[in-house]
Amino acid sequence: MLEVKNLNVRYGGIHAVRGIDFNVPEGSIVTLIGANGAGKSSSLRAICNLVKKTGNVAFMGQDISKIPTKDIVKMGITMVPEGRRVFSDLTIYENLILGAYTRKDKENVKKDMEWVYSIFPRLKERETQMAGTLSGGEQQMLALGRALMSRPKLLMLDEPSLGLAPILVKDVFSVIKKIHDDGVTILLIEQNARMALKIADYAYVLETGTITLTGTGEELLQNDKVLKAYLGGV
């Protein structure tokens, strides 16, 4: 579904992403893991053309390397950025509707609203509540729901569990699995490497802008280097 070749991102003199290659097969969950500053978020932003880059990105066989971000969204790629970024002075319902702003199929938008509410019943209960009054976990659920309203083929998640209590982290990962089971392909960036690898079909380890390890989620969970560096093993 997504093919990234020789991706490079530079910020001034900093070479944040160094010629990486990776693929996201349709129907899979793929995760990029690594320490802060490894180039994970820059890679996602480069795919959406939110930062300058070199290299090639293809989606469903079409080169999207130079396509404007809004058109990439229309093609079926949606990203939930780090930090949730809900519209705090709008209601839950209004936030969700904004997620469908590129769509013209109003009848299907209504169906998808019900689909989102079935995944997040708490949002349905509070749909007239201002988003800024929600807890961190609820705001993360709203950010995920808003992204789903664009009906993505590929959902890219940047640190969805960041700053959440452990019990809420489990909830977020359960929701990610449910979204995947409903037919959405997922590219996940996550500092909680253990949780990410548990649900991932494929995984890549990024270190200082370079991919150093690849494998299935299960393989990397058992890898000594990954255990020592990211999973608290010895």
Instruction: Please give the Cα distance from 144 to 139 (Å, whole number).
Output: 9
Structure tokens at 9: 């991102």
- Domain chopping of the chain, boundaries: 2-230
Q: Which amino acid is at 104?
A: K
Q: Name the nearest CA neighbour of 123 among 93, 163, 149.
A: 93
Give the tens place of pLDDT for each residue, 146-197: 999 999 999 999 999 988 888 889 999 999 999 999 999 999 999 899 999 9
Instruction: Please give the Cα distance from 29 to 180 (Å, whole number).
Output: 7
Q: What is the mean pLDDT of residues 124-134?
A: 95
**Has domain 2-230 been given CATH number 3.40.50.300?**
yes
Give the tens place of pLDDT for each residue, 72-105: 999 999 999 887 789 999 999 999 999 998 888 8
pLDDT top residue among 25 and 82: 25
Give the tens place of pLDDT for each residue, 194-229: 999 999 999 999 999 999 999 999 999 999 999 988
Q: What is the mean pLDDT of residues 116-145?
A: 94
With 60 as the cut, is the pLDDT of residue 234 above it?
A: no
> DSSP 3-state assignment of 225?
helix
